């Protein structure tokens, strides 16, 4: 069986973002049910040198949209990173899902061999598409979704593996 870059990218990213959207609903409901200020969860971080929950969700969206854009040679969707509540995070997740759904399998033709250059400060790394997807884009995406999940779970939001994986 042969998998296309599209199949390894768009459906799994979209599925996990839908799961993240549902997790955001559960977090908001948890705050409401337990008279918790949403800010307590939104700003929570697992360790002082880690990003807070809001940034974890933003970065999950960024890695998803940027992966699709880089693999297809498109310009990436831009976000202002100004979300301050669950509703705004849900909007961002929704926009990311819509953006991912705008891609077709044909957009990814040749993506496994497309060369891409990533700049982080003075560091420049060149990837072949397949290596970028499997060794950078997907691991980073899943890291941030998992960390967002862990922050909420750590703070008592009733989440389980099914919430993370979806139904």
Residue boundaries of the structural domains of the chain: 5-165
CA-to-CA dists, residue 48 to 12, 44, 45, 136, 148, angstroms:
30, 9, 7, 24, 15
Task: Determine the pLDDT at residue 129.
Answer: 96
Instruction: Give the tokens for residue 156.
Output: 């008592």
Q: Looking at the domain covering 5-165, what would its CATH class be?
A: mainly alpha
Query: pTM of the predicted model, to two decimals?
Result: 0.96
Task: Determine the pLDDT at residue 1.
Answer: 65
Provide the residue-wise pLDDT of the chain in tens; the chain has 167 residues.
688 999 999 999 999 999 999 999 999 999 999 999 999 999 999 999 999 999 999 999 999 999 999 999 999 999 999 999 999 999 999 999 999 999 999 999 999 999 999 898 999 999 999 999 999 999 999 999 999 999 999 999 999 999 999 98
The residue ranges of DSSP E strands in 7-114, in sequence order, are none
């Amino acid at each position: 069986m042969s998998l296309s870059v599209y199949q390894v990218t768009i459906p799994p990213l979209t599925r996990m973002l839908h799961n993240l959207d549902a997790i955001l609903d559960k977090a908001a409901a948890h705050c409401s049910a337990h008279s918790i200020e949403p800010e307590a969860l939104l700003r929570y971080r697992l360790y002082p040198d880690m990003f807070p929950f809001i940034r974890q969700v933003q970065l999950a969206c960024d890695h998803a949209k940027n992966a699709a854009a880089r693999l297809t040679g498109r310009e990436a969707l831009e976000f202002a990173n100004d979300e301050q509540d669950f509703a705004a995070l849900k909007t961002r997740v929704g926009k990311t899902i819509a953006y991912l759904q705008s891609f077709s399998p044909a957009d990814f033709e040749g993506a496994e061999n497309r060369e891409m250059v990533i700049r982080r400060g003075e560091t420049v790394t060149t990837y072949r598409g397949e290596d970028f997807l499997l060794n950078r884009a997907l691991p980073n995406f899943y890291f941030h979704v998992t960390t967002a999940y862990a922050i909420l779970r750590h703070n008592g939001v009733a989440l389980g593996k099914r919430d993370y994986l979806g139904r």
